[in-house]
């Protein structure tokens, strides 16, 4: 199975400041079709997960542009340019280069 | 409105069975891969199973293979998860999720249904 490792596991951010989460996979997520199958999801407290980013760097519909994804191969980053209070929750990366789909451990983001 | 609504969770003894349902609305259910993802209390997300749009192909995590069966009824816009031989470690909230691309773009999630395995 592809192991997904996120760092840090928790993050306390002042509103308006940037935040960055790293996600590393145990194998390359670049598929033969040229796409890289790395996703980001946010789970706000008491809610189901919601999609943020697909295929490394593409925002799902309705996701604010302060969220951006980057990376390639096995190393990926989610950045929030200016954290807002509504961004609190647990962020998960997920790979779908192969089955089973596997998630990172999650990074809990809170506001200072 | 695009929506997924799970039901069927509850308290069950170890070794028991439960069937979860996920009712879909607001989109053409039969066009999409569907998934079950669990979350144990206080823990992260874990993918359990997926099924192809027509239902011919099913996929499972090793932890549930042979115990859980995913199925769908496209005429009823409903996804199912038959859970047998339940274990304490199956205690979790179970989410169904629509896969927009067939490759992990889980764009719609249900609210989840809680399964508690306890004696």
Give the model's confidence band at A70: pLDDT under 50 very low, under 70 low, under 90 confident, else very high: very high
Out of A35, A102, A104, closest to residue B47 by CB: A102
Name B94's Cβ contacts closer than 8 Å, sequence gap at least 6. B6, B9, B20, B36, B37, B38, B48, B81, B112, B113, B114, B115
CB contact under 8 Å between B44 and A50, yes or no, is no
- Residue owning tokens 């609305």: B25
CB contact under 8 Å between B47 and A104, yes or no, is no
What average pLDDT does this structure show over A28-35? 97
What's residue B104's pLDDT? 87
Lowest mean pLDDT among A62-71, A91-100, A101-110, B98-107: B98-107
- For chain A, the average pLDDT equals 97
What's residue B4's pLDDT? 98
CB contact under 8 Å between B105 and A51, yes or no, is yes
For the purposes of burial, counting CB atoms within 10 Å of the CB of B21, is it exposed (0-12), middle (13-18) or buried (19 or more)? middle
Q: What's the rounded Cα separation, in Å, for the pair B118 and A86?
A: 36
What's residue B23's pLDDT? 98
Out of A49, A96, A104, closest to residue B109 by CB: A49
What average pLDDT does this structure show over B8-24? 98
What average pLDDT does this structure show over A11-16? 97
- Residue in chain A nearest B96 by alpha carbon: A48
What's residue A68's pLDDT? 98
What's residue B102's pLDDT? 86
CB contact under 8 Å between B44 and A41, yes or no, is no
What average pLDDT does this structure show over B39-64? 97
């Amino acid at each position: 199975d592809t192991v997904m490792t996120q760092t840090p596991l928790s993050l306390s951010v002042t509103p308006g400041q940037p935040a960055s989460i790293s996600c590393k996979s145990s194998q390359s997520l670049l598929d033969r079709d040229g796409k890289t199958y790395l996703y980001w999801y946010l789970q706000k407290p008491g809610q189901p997960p919601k999609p943020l980013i697909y295929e490394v760097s593409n925002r799902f519909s309705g996701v604010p542009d302060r969220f951006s994804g980057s990376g390639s191969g096995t190393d990926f980053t989610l950045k929030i340019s200016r954290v807002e209070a509504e961004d609190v929750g647990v962020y998960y990366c997920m790979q779908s280069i192969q089955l089973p789909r596997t998630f990172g451990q999650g990074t809990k983001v809170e506001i200072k | 409105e695009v929506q997924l609504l799970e039901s069927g969770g509850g308290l069950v003894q170890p070794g028991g069975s439960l069937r979860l349902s996920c009712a879909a609305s607001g989109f053409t259910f039969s066009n999409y891969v569907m998934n079950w993802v669990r979350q144990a209390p206080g823990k992260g997300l874990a993918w359990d199973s997926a099924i192809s749009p027509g239902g011919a192909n099913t996929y499972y995590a090793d932890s549930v293979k042979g115990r859980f069966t995913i199925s769908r009824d496209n005429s009823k816009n409903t996804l199912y998860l038959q859970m047998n031989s339940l274990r304490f470690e199956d205690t979790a909230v179970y989410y169904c999720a629509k896969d927009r691309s067939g490759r992990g773009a889980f764009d719609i999630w249900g609210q989840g249904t809680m399964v508690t395995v306890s004696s």
